[in-house]
């Protein structure tokens, strides 16, 4: 057991994390709650600021200590962990608030990605702010944004709808809310529920274009594009449903971009492809008839000349 002098000496030493075998000292943090994004799969997708925050914090509040420990071990970070999740939040929150009141720096992380996205972290943020403690975002990976980046669907407006409810009536209500939105819709789904969810979406939304992202940033990452009807048929069979899925759905057909937005999309597509290819690309992204887009793309190309 270390003596008091030994403990004081250890606490005065700068905390370090390691990248590529090189130890890096973390600067001390001011008191407050730090909302830290962690990788969604690839452990290399942690920011330098995120590493420094996780190293320098007095305590890391996390959903599953086993999962965050893998990240900490990768970068040789030694720090105290405390569980904070749906099942213990009511009792764990007051303990964290007391530590904040004592002048400590607390890092909040989720199992993967950015905290507060489909987890109970927002209640802790509200409570910390209400008590007068500063709350700081340390941004980074997000499966929502990663999926939008690779989906090739309109991103000027999008809605994150999380996981659909399991009860049929609640699920019906949620779909009714998003069905006519003039925005791309992003959903999360677990593998065992994927086939049923896609069948339900196909029944309610029809053959709307969609993109399914599986295991983003991981070794077996897979991104597929089709319409919801085709996806329902595909995953209703023996398709692979292990892993984590993000479903990205195109805006409603009656909620299309303005003409000047479509023209801009066509110009961008024409920069690297033929008129036919550009029309096809924009038709997939907007749901507009390819023949009309072909004529418009041809006119834009002639105007450019």
pLDDT tens per residue across span 45-99: 999 999 999 999 999 999 999 999 999 999 999 999 999 998 999 999 999 999 9
- pLDDT tens track for 66-76: 999 999 999 99
pLDDT in tens, 12-28: 578 999 999 999 999 99
Identify which of 150, 117, 123 has the alpha carbon closest to the alpha carbon of residue 33.
123
Q: What are the residues facing 36 on neighbouring strands?
A: 138
Strand order in the sheet with 244-249: 158-163, 184-190, 244-249, 209-214, 222-227
Average pLDDT over residues 189-197: 93
What value does the mean pLDDT take over residues 208-222? 94
Spatial CA neighbour of 147 closest among 227, 226, 216: 216
Q: Which residues contact 290 (CB under 8 A, 6 or more apart)?
A: 279, 280, 283
**Domain locations in the chain?**
14-141, 144-249, 259-304
pLDDT in tens, 110-162: 999 999 876 778 999 999 999 999 999 999 999 999 999 999 999 989 999 99
> Whole-prediction pTM value?
0.78
What's the rounded Cα separation, in Å, for the pair 56 and 106? Answer: 9
The proportion of the chain whose per-residue pLDDT surpasses 90, expressed as a percent, equals 65
Q: Choose which CATH entry (3.30.950.10, 1.10.1060.10, 3.40.50.360, 3.30.160.270) describes domain 144-249.
A: 3.30.950.10
pLDDT of residue 237: 83
With a cut of 50, say whether residue 8 has pLDDT above it: no
Q: What confidence tens digit (pLDDT) does each residue in 278-293 have? A: 888 887 666 666 787 8
Does the domain at residues 14-141 carry the CATH identifier 3.40.50.300? no
Average pLDDT over residues 188-199: 94
156 burial class (0-12, 13-18, 19+ CB within 10 angstroms)?
A: exposed
217-230 as b/e, with b when 16 or more CB fall inside 10 Å?
beeeeebebebbbb
Query: How confident is residue 109, by pLDDT bands cut at 50, 70 and 90?
Result: very high
Task: Give the tokens for residue 180.
Answer: 């006519």
User: Is 33:135 a contact under the CB 8 Å cutoff?
Assistant: yes
């Amino acid at each position: 057991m270390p003596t008091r002098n030994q403990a004081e000496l250890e606490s005065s030493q700068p905390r370090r994390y390691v990248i590529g075998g090189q130890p890096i000292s973390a600067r001390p943090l001011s008191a407050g709650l730090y909302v830290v994004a962690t990788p969604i799969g690839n452990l290399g997708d942690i920011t330098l600021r995120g590493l420094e925050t996780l190293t320098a914090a007095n305590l890391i509040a996390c959903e599953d200590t086993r999962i965050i420990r893998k990240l900490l071990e990768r970068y040789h970070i030694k720090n105290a962990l405390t569980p904070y999740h749906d099942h213990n939040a009511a009792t764990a929150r007051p303990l964290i608030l007391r530590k904040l009141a004592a002048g400590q720096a607390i890092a909040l992380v989720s199992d993967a990605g950015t905290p507060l996205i489909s987890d109970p972290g927002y209640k802790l943020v509200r409570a910390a702010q209400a008590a007068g403690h500063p709350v700081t975002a340390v941004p980074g990976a997000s499966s929502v944004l990663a999926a939008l980046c690779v989906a090739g669907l309109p991103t000027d407006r999008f809605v994150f709808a999380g996981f659909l409810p399991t009860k049929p009536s609640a699920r019906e209500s949620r779909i009714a809310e998003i069905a006519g939105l003039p925005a791309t819709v992003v959903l999360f789904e677990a593998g065992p529920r994927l086939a049923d969810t896609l069948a339900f979406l196909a029944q309610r939304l029809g053959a709307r274009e969609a993109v399914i992202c599986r295991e983003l940033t991981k070794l077996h990452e897979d991104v597929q594009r089709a319409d919801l009807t085709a996806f329902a048929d595909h995953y209703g069979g023996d398709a692979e449903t292990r892993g984590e899925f993000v479903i990205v759905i195109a805006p409603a057909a009656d909620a299309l971009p303005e003409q000047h937005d479509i023209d801009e999309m066509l110009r961008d597509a024409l920069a690297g492809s033929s008129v036919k290819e550009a029309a096809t690309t924009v038709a997939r992204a907007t749901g507009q008839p390819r023949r009309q887009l072909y004529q418009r793309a041809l006119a834009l190309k002639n105007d450019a000349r």
